[in-house]
Amino acid sequence: MAKVKGAIVINNERCKGCEVCVDVCPESVIAMNKNVNTKGYHYAMVTNENCTGCTNCAVVCPDGVITVYRVKVPTEVV
């Protein structure tokens, strides 16, 4: 048996703060930063470690600024 664990990397400077990625995440990983990037946008940020690497957020991001990684984790390690 193996479980998956994921992680996303957001390109903060290219994020336009549209929030389209927030609601499509089944694990409620993403929220908006109260700080802004150099363009003045409240960029998206990771808020917990529940990512499964499902890619939903990256697929809907209009600016394609999310990169997704995923590993299989043997259950005894979890």
Partner 1 sequence: MAVITREDIIKPENLVYKRTSLLVDCALSYCPGCGHGTAHRMLMEVIEEMGIQSKTIGVAPVGCSVLAYEFLDIDVQQAAHGRAPALATAIKRLMPEKYVFTYQGDGDLAAIGTAETIHACNRGENFVIIFINNGIYGMTGGQMAPTTLPHMRASTCPYGRDTETMGNPLKITELVATLPGTCYVTRQAVHTPGNVRKTKKALRKAFEYSYAKKGVSLVEIVSNCNSGWKMTPVQSNKWMEENMFPYYPLGDIKVPAAE
Query: Residue numbers of the site for ligand SF4 (CB under 6 A)?
Result: 6, 8, 10, 15-21, 24-27, 29-30, 44, 51-57, 61, 63, 65-66, 68
Q: Report the chain's C-alpha Rg in angstroms.
A: 13
Instruction: Give the residue among 22, 23, 58, 27 at the shortest CA–CA distance from 43.
Output: 22
Cβ count within 10 A of residue 10? 20
Given partner 1, ligand SF4, none, residue 36, with its beta carbon under 5 to 8 Å by kind, binds none
Given ligand SF4, partner 1, none, residue 12, with its beta carbon under 5 to 8 Å by kind, binds none
Return the structure tokens found at 8. 């996303």
Q: Which residues bind partner 1 (CB under 8 A)?
A: 5-7, 9, 14, 16-20, 22-24, 41, 49, 53, 55-56, 58-71, 73, 77
